[in-house]
Amino acid sequence: MDPGSLSQSSLWGPQPIVGVVAIRTADDPGFAPSICARLNSQDALVLALADADVSPVILARCVEEGAAGIVRTTTKTAALADAIRALAEGASVLSYTDRLSLERTLADHRSDLRRRRRPFTRLTAREADVLSELVKGHHAEWIAEEFDVSVSTIRSQIRAVLVKLDCHSQLEAVALAHEARWGGPYDIINLDDDTMAFSGAA
């Protein structure tokens, strides 16, 4: 066989696959990290292409799930092509400083999340059930009928929820649950969960 007819891949082995994951501001916070993880599991080199205002927490989750670099959508096409080429050639696209900064951002985010969620661990199972229904927009009378108990029992449980969460109203308790990304009575606090990386996190 003429050596000149050998392909580059047969000489140097399979060429790496670079997957570019577009991250839009309006996307579900868990979408991009899950795609990065999937590509990484298939031995692809992952480059995140993110809108300028995408939360650093989401970018940090992408890196944690295997993204080897981050490029903003405002980057010129030639620079994006250079980043893809650099990844394919085994060069580093994400600096050590940037990676460390993202790791700290994610650690701070999770620490804040633990603090926000701690009060919910004080609720009994039934109080958590009641709060979950309030979060869904149901009123005390509906909850009482659903749980087959008296309205006064539900109101008593609502008062207990407010005391334990240090809230002055049902509206405040519901807002607190949203801010903490509390998932309801059966919520297991998994701080690696993509849904924790809420949009707008600094």
CATH number at residue 60: 3.40.50.2300
Residue 66 lies in a domain: yes
Residue 133 vs residues 119, 170, 179: alpha-carbon distances, Å: 18, 11, 16
> Who has greater pLDDT, 71 or 195?
71
In sequence order, the 6+-apart residues with CB closer than 8 A to the CB of 127 are 157, 160, 161, 164
CA dist., res. 27 & res. 172, Å (int): 27
Per-residue pLDDT of 1-49, as tens digits, reads 343 333 333 444 566 788 999 998 888 888 899 999 999 999 899 999 9
**Would you give the distance in Å from CA 181 to the centre of its chain?**
11
Phi, psi for 20 (deg, rounded to 5): -100, 120
Residue 169's pLDDT is: 96
pLDDT at 190 over 80: no
Question: CB neighbours (10 Å) of residue 189?
Answer: 17
Q: Which residue has the higher pLDDT, 191 or 91?
A: 91
Mean pLDDT of the chain: 85
Task: Confirm whether 2 is domain-assigned.
Answer: no
Q: What is the CA radius of gyration of the chain?
A: 24
Residue 37 is assigned to a structural domain of this protein: yes
The pLDDT score that the predictor gives to residue 28 is 83
Tens digit of each residue's pLDDT (9 = 90 or more) over 51-64: 999 999 999 999 99
Is the distance from CB of 116 to CB of 198 less than 8 angstroms? no
What does the pLDDT read at residue 14? Answer: 61
54 domain-assigned? yes
Report residue 55 as tokens. 């939360």
Inside any domain, residue 86: yes
Q: By residue range, what is the domain housing residue 42?
A: 11-94
pLDDT tens, 118-168? Answer: 999 999 999 999 999 999 999 999 999 999 999 999 999 999 999 999 999
Distance CA(185)–CA(172), nearest Å, equals 18
How many of the other CB atoms lie within 10 Å of CB of 90?
A: 8
In one-letter notation, the amino acid at residue 50 is A
Residue 97 has pLDDT above 70, yes or no: yes
Task: Please give the pLDDT value at position 12.
Answer: 47
Residue 10: the pLDDT is 40
Count of domains for the chain: 2
CATH of the domain at 192: 1.10.10.10
Are the CB atoms for 143 and 97 separated by under 8 Å? no
Q: Same domain for 27 and 83? A: yes
Please tell me whether residues 81 and 126 are part of one structural domain. Answer: no
In a domain, 106, yes or no: no
Average pLDDT over residues 183-192: 59
